[in-house]
Amino acid sequence: MLEQDILIGPFIRHCRDAGFEHVTVKPLLQSVPGFDLTLEQWDSWSRLAVSTRPRRALAKIAFAVAELFGLGKRGPLFEEAMAVHMVRTVRQVVEHHPVIVAAKTRRAAGLSDQLWRASIRGQAVEPIVRGTTAAMRVTATNTGTATWRAQSASGIGHVRLGVQLLDAEDRLVTRDYHRVALPHEVAPGQTVTLSFQCPVPAEPGHYRMKRDFVAEGVTWFETAGSAPDSILIEVV
């Protein structure tokens, strides 16, 4: 199934029917990771995006009347115009690349935003011959609230460094391009250095490698609001 084949509203309803208590879609993942929409809010956005001018005009009249009586001092007309533009622009991106998070329980506000975070510092690499490997060294500090486990009995929840491959125009080529295991557990505040060999694309050209940590079966750190590290590479 391709991402653009997912029908967001029905998908969220199916998650709820399957027993997930808290299901949200993240429409501004890359710029505002902590901004979520519930099913009801997504439906409201969808209605606004397809609303016609007469209905919006009536709403503006209502806002104008409210302003005459001292209401709407924060400028609802301006906010509505901006909201319509944002909704129409962002909605297309969300529908083509939806990120939907389903959880069995609702977490406390702000907890998930601080759970998985890392400060990552990596070194650049020289031009690389295709078909070989690139020597990489990444130093990272656990700036979140969860301990990074090096392994797990269930195969879920342990943390590894993940390398994502993008093309020269920052379009995703392979999300799970390479993985690097942790040598040991990393508690909050601790730092770990990873030296490893990363495979190189077979075709010559310019690429970007995004290096981020992933709690396997849970989330990429970037999805939780952490900033990944990325480097440009040239394959010759």
CA R_g for the chain: 22
Domain final residue, candidates 59, 81, 103: 103
Dist CA 113 CA 221 (whole Å): 10
pLDDT in tens, 184-231: 999 999 999 999 999 999 999 999 999 999 999 889 999 888 999 999
Task: Kindly compute the dihedral angle of the four CA atoms of residues 56, 57, 63, 66, in this order, to the nearest 10 degrees.
Answer: -140
Structural tokens at position 2: 């391709």
Count the domains in the chain. Answer: 2
144 shares its domain with 229: yes
Give yes or no: residues 225 and 119 share one domain: yes
CATH number at residue 143: 2.60.40.10
Three-state DSSP class for residue 233: strand
Looking at 42, 75, 103, the residue that finishes a domain is 103
The per-residue pLDDT for range 43-81, each reduced to its tens digit, is 777 777 776 767 667 766 766 666 565 555 444 454 555
Q: Specify the pTM.
A: 0.56
Domain span at residue 139? 112-235
Cα 191 from Cα 200, distance rounded (Å): 27
- Measured CA to CA, the distance from residue 222 to residue 229 in angstroms comes to 10
Residue where a domain terminates, one of 103, 138, 168: 103
